[in-house]
Amino acid sequence: MSTQSNFPAVFSLKGELAVVTGGGTGIGQAIALAMHKAGARVVLVGRRENLLAEAVKAMGEGASYIVHDITHLDAAGDLVARINKELGPVTCMVNNAGIHLKKSAVDTTVQEFQDVLSTHILGAHALNRAVIPGMTERKHGSILFIASMASLFGIPLVVAYSSAKTAMLGMVRTLSTELSQHGVRVNAIAPGWIDTEMSRKAFAGDPARKSKILSRTPMQKLGDVSDVGWAAVYLTSPAAKFVTGAILPIDGGVSMGF
């Protein structure tokens, strides 16, 4: 008698085609890897071909990449059309690409603010706009945003980044109400402090900052990129078929701690 459980099947992404922007490094790469392990075919989109190629090579069959700058808003339709033609219809759109800017509000120029918004918000909107018609026609699809703790509470010196990540939550709420009746779910993940190459570099020059962050994290540790990756699998899998408009913190309790 077999003891194998059918439970994991509900988390399977077999048959899905996921596009992950900013998929060559960090959290984006971890999301792509987890989705690939769950059975999805994945397309990594980013600007740095060497990193994309390395990430795809590590995943193997069923993973590919396209070099593309999502701030080229008019090219979003062409990108999606190319994917549809070469690989099939996009069933999952992961809006992860972003840039960071650490400056006081008075030192943040209008152009710098616009650059951050263009990547996080306008770039995501252009791609979503390109994939939504196919998703609604097929009555099947999932759109996922990677937001931030900066979406949930005040963090100094990141006015442009915080504004962009907060705007994502507005997009989640509106899109989920627009698209749910058409079989398309829209959700977000809000990562807390995750152990990435970027965070390690930041902490290397500022150990007091890491201590302060850990003291404010109830679990008293940083998260792994895989924590975000598997959360993305859940939100785009059949296990979350009745979940839309949700903002899921992956933060070790930061957003609920004191």
Give the model's pLDDT for residue 204: 80
Active site residue 161: yes
Dihedral in degrees, nearest 10, Cα atoms 185, 149, 231, 211: 180
Q: How far apart are CA 136 and CA 70, in angstroms?
A: 22
CB 91 within 8 A of CB 141: yes
Give the model's pLDDT for residue 2: 39
Q: What is the 3-state secondary structure (H, E, C) of 158-169?
A: EHHHHHHHHHHH
Is the pTM higher than 0.75? The answer reads yes
Catalytic residue among 113, 161, 193, 230: 161
Domain 13-196+225-248 has CATH 3.30.565.10: no
Per-10-residue mean pLDDT of the chain, 258 residues long, equals 57 97 96 97 97 96 97 98 98 96 96 97 98 98 96 92 97 98 98 88 81 91 96 98 98 87
Q: How far apart are CA 117 and CA 124, in angstroms?
A: 10
Q: How far apart are CA 90 and CA 147, in angstroms?
A: 21
Continuous segment of H or E residues that includes residue 92? strand 92-95
